[in-house]
Amino acid sequence: MTEQIKALAKRRNALILAHYYQTLEVQELADQVGDSFALAKFAKETDADIIILCGVRFMAESAKILSPSKTVYLPAPNAGCPMADMVTPDDVLLLRAEHPGAAVVCYVNSSAAVKAVSDICCTSSSAVKIVKSLSEREIIFVPDQNLGAYVAEQCPEKEIILFNGYCPTHHKISEQDVVDAIREHPSAYVLIHPECRKEVLNHADFIGSTKGIIEAAKKSSVEELLIGTEIGVLEILRRDCPDKRVYSIGSTFTCPNMKKTHVEDVLACLNGEREPITLPEDELRAARLTLEKMVELGG
């Protein structure tokens, strides 16, 4: 099946992209593996006609927003993002009405419709930089309360208005989980994603995006690593760093939506058995502005 997929992708001028949280089996099919924003940039920069994005819906939408002329497929159509679903355009508009002088910073983990009513997007790695760059003192940050709280701590000169969204996978990790993990591995280097709660982040040696965690873990001279993000990163590091001992902070660090994509789904896209991503033209245009502003500031 892998050989069939590779041959079909070449024939149809298709690019296969996979997020770090996908299964290794799916990642090994991909032409490029990366975090959500890197995948959207790969989609924009390629001359491929077809993009098959192995991830969740907001990622495929972002690829379509930045590459409107390309055909974009989400292999698992029911792979959503609970955090993205927690905020609606009406929620953003209500916050705007309550804080008319505030700028709306929208985490890239959000729907195209929410991006369309925001001022600028950010990633977990660029959130602090983007908030600091804005002239407005008051910032509405949606949808992730944990990333927003981390940004607020790094930007004391700003007043950050938090929404109550969160990533269920990262949010359910408790301070006790990280304390227990450190007790079991006291000499480990602790790397945690900012989508985790503040009390969890307080125990980190390194706080960063998925890509940042992978790069920092590979560069670290410490032989024992404690990883505080989705289990897919653990699998990547165990494969790529055989000289290191890599452990997860919690036993429940799995995103069920990221595991919905199977090799057969990728083949179905290439065979035209999936519907491509479509977005209303006005929504697509407005959302593109927020993403392009983010790109201009270094993404």
- Mean pLDDT computed over 278-295: 94
- Mean pLDDT computed over 250-272: 94
Answer whether 2-80+258-278 and 173-251 agree in fold.
yes
- The pLDDT-based confidence of 44 (bands split at 50, 70, 90) is confident
- The pLDDT-based confidence of 100 (bands split at 50, 70, 90) is very high
Closest CA to 228 of 247, 211, 244, 212: 247
Domain ranges of the chain: 2-80+258-278, 83-166, 173-251
Mean pLDDT over all residues of the chain? 95
The reported pTM is 0.94
Enter the DSSP assignment of 152. Answer: H
124-182 residue pLDDT tens: 999 999 999 999 999 999 999 999 999 999 999 999 999 999 999 999 999 999 999 99
Question: What residues form DSSP beta bridges with 247?
Answer: 226
Judged against a pLDDT cut of 80, whether residue 15 lies above it is answered with yes
Supply the angle between the helices 281-296 and 57-66 in degrees, to the nearest 10: 80
Topology (CATH) of 83-166? Rossmann fold (3.40.50)
Judged against a pLDDT cut of 70, whether residue 62 lies above it is answered with yes
Cα–Cα–Cα angle for 37, 87, 178, rounded to 5 degrees: 70
Q: What is the pLDDT of residue 41?
A: 84
Judged against a pLDDT cut of 80, whether residue 299 lies above it is answered with no
- C-alpha gyration radius of the chain: 19
203-254 residue pLDDT tens: 999 999 999 999 999 999 999 999 999 999 999 999 999 999 999 998 889 9
Judged against a pLDDT cut of 90, whether residue 25 lies above it is answered with yes
Q: What is the pLDDT of residue 40?
A: 80
Topology (CATH) of 173-251? Rossmann fold (3.40.50)
Enter the DSSP assignment of 165. Answer: B
Q: Which CATH architecture describes the domain 2-80+258-278?
A: 3-Layer(aba) Sandwich (3.40)
Task: Retrieve residue 288's tokens.
Answer: 């593109």
Residue given tokens 């009513």 in the structure block: 117
